[in-house]
Chains A and B, each alone.
Chain A
Amino acid sequence: GAVVSQHPSRVICKSGTSVKIECRSLDFQATTMFWYRQFPKQSLMLMATSNEGSKATYEQGVEKDKFLINHASLTLSTLTVTSAHPEDSSFYICSASGRGKETQYFGPGTRLLVL
């Protein structure tokens, strides 16, 4: 099956710093990548959808200037949390969908803790 990786798996940072999370499709070309956020004991909530080479589409209520998404290639998307604050602490999960396919393959997630 298709494999999606995320790096780092866990990150701790100070308030005010920026953190970049990478999402890679290892064995297929991902036309579309998705970023989700999961609060404790909650289900996943879609933050944004990105297509390779174009700007991301953000869900309502998600600040695009705070959560910068770049999908520069068919195998890599990055999420940068800018000027992170403690309330940004959460579990961030990406998924990827290949050309002509609609099934999403999920990465293992990145746990962010902002002190």
Chain B
Amino acid sequence: KQEVTQIPAALSVPEGENLVLNCSFTDSAIYNLQWFRQDPGKGLTSLLLIQSSQREQTSGRLNASLDKSSGRSTLYIAASQPGDSATYLCAVQWGGSYIPTFGRGTSLIVHP
């Protein structure tokens, strides 16, 4: 069964810290992996999309890496800010399937 797991489920850090969110998946034959942000009561905002052939993607203070062989992706947030507080979701699409599988998310709080 193809599954996506995100650890930790919740994280609270002081402002300014660099932090890493983890996403693991059970089948390495992925098509792509996306990281999303979701604010409370709001929709999904796509942060980074990594295709199967890529190792990482960067956008501003965010960097997402992909290691298919170990079934892992990490989202690195540099110099965290209170505005980064949100739930971060990882979604994996496997080859041959149109349907991504979502993790349950990591709820991040960055306190001043």
Contact = CB atoms under 8 A, between A and B. Distances in A.
Interface residues of B, number: 21
The CB with the most chain B CB atoms within 10 A, among A42, A107, A109, is that of A109
A109 B32 contact: no
A70 interface: no
Given A102-B93, A103-B49, A109 B43 contact: yes
Contacts of B43: 6, 9, 91, 93, 106-110
Nearest to A91: B43
Interface of B is mostly: strand
B104 A106 contact: no
Contact of A42 (B42, B46, B98, B104): B104
A43 B46 contact: no
Interface of A: 1, 6, 9, 32, 34, 42-44, 46, 49, 91, 93, 97, 102-111
Interface of B: 31-32, 36, 41-46, 49, 51, 89, 91, 93, 98-100, 102-105
